[in-house]
Amino acid sequence: MFFDPMYLVFALPGIALALWAQWKVKSAYAKYAKVPVGRGVTGVEMAKLLMRQTGVTVGVEGIPGQLTDHYDPRDKTMRLSDSSRANSVASVAVVAHEFGHAMQDSENYGPLKLRGAIVPAVQISAWVGPILFFVGFGIVGIGSAIGQSLAWLGVATFLIAATFSLVTLPVEFDASRRALRMLEATYALDPDELSGAKKVLDAAALTYVAAAAQSLLTLLYYVTLLTGGRRRGD
């Protein structure tokens, strides 16, 4: 085994972006979790309000943790963390975002369906791809046909995970756009509160951008090793 300094060229930008995105989302959430909605609306109450407003009905359940909120299209249920059930601008923004996913599901939004379809493959490809690549590249060696085949198979397998991260971007961005439109239509938030909700959702969106960047940079690193590494294997 060896450490390749070139890896840092590809990894560091993605790591830096991910750390910055995590800082942004945590700071924005922490700030607006302390700002109550003037009309006293909690996250759960906002979910019920949006259901009445849109006619789309989904289940609402609690889930442990913070920022663990998600919508599960398999059983049409929003699972909300304890903090998202409070009266705060942050909780209302998060709940509206998850309800945005429920709206996507009700309308058979293409990118959401595509993301759901490739989830089972992603759960395997995200860790199998790198293993296949490094077995072929580093153990068998790309000087052999078997090594090259294993390495390229690893790249192809990891490509599924990279595709998932790219498909996630329009899904999350669209859910946030829907959330802000719905929050504006309810008149439950005043302009300053709506601006705060937007900041929370914009910060959260950065985490998905960072994840996509990391996947693409990793994929590019693998391809660079293979296309430039033939000289090393000869």
Written as one string, the DSSP assignment of 139-175 is: IIITTSHHHHHHHHHHHHHHHHHHHHHHHHHHHHHHH
> What value does the mean pLDDT of the chain take?
91
Q: What percentage of the chain has pLDDT greater than the value 70?
A: 96
The reply to whether 136 falls in a domain is yes
The reply to whether 1 falls in a domain is no
Q: Active site includes 98?
A: yes
Q: What is the pLDDT of residue 136?
A: 85
Q: What is the pLDDT of residue 103?
A: 97
Asked if 62 and 85 count as a contact pair (C-beta separation under 8 A), the reply is yes
Evaluate if pTM is beyond 0.75: yes
Q: What is the pLDDT of residue 234?
A: 45
Q: Please tell me the number of Cα atoms within 13 Å of 10 on its side-chain side.
A: 16
106: CB partners within 8 A, 6+ apart: 56
| Catalytic choice (45, 98, 172, 193) | 98
The reply to whether 48 falls in a domain is yes
Give residue 162's domain range: 6-233
Residues 45-70, mean pLDDT to the nearest whole number: 93
Q: What is the pLDDT of residue 125?
A: 86
Tally of structural domains, the chain: 1
Q: For residue range 147-189, list pLDDT tens digits in order.
A: 889 999 999 999 999 999 999 999 999 999 999 999 999 999 9
d(CA 76, CA 106): 9
The reply to whether 140 falls in a domain is yes
d(CA 2, CA 70): 40
Span of 19-23, 123-127, 172-176 with lowest mean pLDDT: 123-127
The reply to whether 25 falls in a domain is yes
d(CA 34, CA 119): 35
